[in-house]
Amino acid sequence: MLMCRDLARIASDYIDGELGTMDRVSVKMHLLMCGHCRTFIGNLRASIDLMKAHSSQQVDEELVHRIDSRIKERLDAQRSRKNDSE
């Protein structure tokens, strides 16, 4: 018999559709009988959605600026080398 703790261990696999048929059926049976685990799966799903919505991540502007400068330096150097050879 699948217990709540067992279900918690494989909850992500269930959500992502990574479980084999037998395990998936066990989870579904358990969820029919257990409100706590239904809440758990629902809330875990909600956290995943939250994580996805959040990940319109902020960019570290200072780092972007530093990278931009290094790229500019390199591009300028390439261009002047090209001009010299022409």
Partner 1 sequence: METAKHQSDEDILINGLKSGDQAAFHEAVRLYTPGMLAVARFYLDPSSAEETVQDCWVTVIDAIQKFEGRSGLKTWLHRIVANRAKNHLRKTKREVSSDFSETLDPELADRFAHNGRWATPPGLKSNESAQALMENGALSDCLDQHLAALPETQRSALMLYEAHQHKSDDVCNILDVSASNLRVLLHRARQRIFLMVETFQETGEC
Taking the C-alpha atoms of residue 12 and residue 9, their distance in angstroms, rounded to an integer, is 8
In the bound complex, what is the minimum distance in angstroms from residue 28's beta carbon to partner 1? Answer: 18
Q: Does 52 bind partner 1 (CB under 8 A)?
A: yes
Residue 30 CA to its chain's centroid (Å):
27
Buried (b) or exposed (e) across 42-77, using 16+ Cβ within 10 A? eeeeeeeeeeeeeeeeeeeeeeeeeeeeeeeeeeee
Q: Does 34 bind Zn ion (CB under 5 A)?
A: yes
**Taking CB under 8 A as the criterion, which residues in 11-50 touch partner 1?**
11-13, 16, 18, 36-37, 39-40, 42-44, 46-50
Among 1, 4, 58, 84, binds Zn ion (CB under 5 A): 4
Among 20, 59, 85, 86, binds partner 1 (CB under 8 A): 59
